[in-house]
């Protein structure tokens, strides 16, 4: 259990950084900390969903399916954060209106 949570934290951080680096352009409105939190949250969510679906049926060795669930959910959550921030459109160039 503890190792799975550590893997979710490490993997989620890596996926958050990767998602942030791939979305780099002038429309990138996601702060780095939010991308990392999205990755970590997705990793933890993937762990929880895997345990819910497979009822903790892990065998000996590395549980590759659990890691796959964590990676996919973390990537989806980072993608949702990026899309949500893009749609929200935090504008930095404000033009003064008529006085």
pTM above 0.75, yes or no: no
Q: Which of 28, 77, 23 shows the shortest CA–CA distance to 49?
A: 77
Q: Give the mean pLDDT of 35-52.
A: 86
- Please report the pLDDT score of residue 90 as a whole number: 54
pLDDT tens digits, one per residue of 6-29 = 877 888 888 888 877 776 666 566
Closest alpha carbon to 20 in 29, 11, 8: 29
54 vs 90, residue with greater confidence: 54
């Amino acid at each position: 259990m503890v190792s799975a949570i550590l893997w979710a934290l490490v993997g989620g951080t890596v996926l958050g950084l990767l998602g942030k680096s791939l979305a780099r352009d002038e429309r990138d409105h996601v702060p780095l900390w939010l991308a990392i939190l999205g990755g970590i949250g997705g990793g933890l969510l993937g762990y929880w969903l895997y345990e819910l679906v497979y009822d903790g049926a892990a065998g000996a060795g590395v549980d590759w399916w659990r890691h796959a669930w964590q990676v996919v959910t973390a990537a989806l959550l980072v993608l949702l954060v990026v899309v949500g921030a893009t749609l929200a459109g935090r504008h930095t160039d404000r033009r003064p209106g008529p006085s």
